[in-house]
Structure 1
């Protein structure tokens, strides 16, 4: 019998959970690379929820950007009706954790840090929305705008992020 994808990973620890299932930190046995694995149970999902989930990982599999969490692959475990999504592990946590830490220490974020996060967020959203990287800083942005609308490449899929919050960024 062929080895399943999950057999190629060592489970290290549970790092999160939600209504969808569990997120675990895993190590790929072949090279020691650390990833996270979202374990999603299909059993309690409606057909519409399953279709939405399928659409989401189809989108994730096409997005490649330094400021978007990387998607590696998925595995469907037919026997348990679980879906495993293997994604980039963000070891420093999410922006929500950083904000909570600042609040608990009664500190403010440095202005440079705020600008860096803002820049990363905007470039990632631009890639989602237009399918290309934004114009470089200093370039005449008006060249890319026609009648108030940016030109998306022909055939590009427009993605609107529906759940922007500090906990969804790394």
Structure 2
């Protein structure tokens, strides 16, 4: 059951929804799935998220992955050319909105909180790199916050899974400048 729209991006709209069976509130990313580009992006995001989940489940250090949004499921409605990702709800919004709200109140992120954010983001990116995944679109809008303002990295539609022994030259397809840091530090 849809509750409300909580975000919109280039490739999809995110809604908060209540699962009928469990009554749990989740986030559902609804994406158009009718062009080849949209299918490729959605399929990539699903595959990367499945890889992350598989690796987390096999890991003896699952707590290392706490800063990556959890994929709970996915499905495709081919009749409507839509694909859906079911994810944990990060009710604190995104980092961009958090910063804007602080600015509206005449405040800013304190040094301690800033370092918590930076440490969590770097930890998430490092864990992805360790398992050969490049996020490719790291920006404040893709850094989600939980209710208690903990970081969760999201939106893997432009990510890349690296293959062992292969050299990489790539067209950069993420948000302008958003992936510069990530590519420089692999």
Q: TM-score interval w.r.t. the shorter chain?
A: 0.7 to 0.9
| Structure 1 residue runs without a partner (length 5+) | 1-9, 132-157
> What's the TM-score, normalizing by structure 1?
0.73
1:106 is aligned to 106
Partner of 2:15: 24
Q: 1:58 aligns with which of 39, 47, 53?
A: 47
Kept in 2: contact 1:61–1:73 (CA 8 A)? no
Q: Which of structures 1 and 2 has the larger relative contact order (alpha carbons within 8 angstroms, sep 6+)?
A: 2
Q: Which runs of 4+ in 1 moved over 3 A?
A: none
Q: How many pairs does the alignment contain?
A: 133
* Aligned partners of 2:32 and 2:38 also within 8 Å: no
Tell me by how many angstroms 1:75 deviates.
0.8
- Aligned-pair CA distance for 1:95: 0.9
Structure 1 residue 93: Cα displacement: 0.8
Equivalent positions of 1:81-120 (< 5 A) are: 81-120=81-120
Task: Report the RMSD for the aligned CA atoms in angstroms.
Answer: 1.5
Larger radius of gyration: 1
Q: String of CA shifts for 1:80-127, please: whole Å, max 9, x gaps.
A: 111111111101111111110122222221111011111110110011
- 1:48 Cα shift? 4.1
| Residues 11, 38 of structure 2: 8 Å contact kept | no
Structure 1 residues 101 and 48: CA distance shift in structure 2, 3 A: closer
Equivalent position of 1:150 in the other structure: none
SS in 2 for 1:56: helix
Give me the whole-angstrom Cα distance separating, in 2, the residues matched to 1:11 and 1:54: 24
In 2, Cα distance between the equivalents of 1:51 and 1:97?
29
1:13 positional shift: 1.2
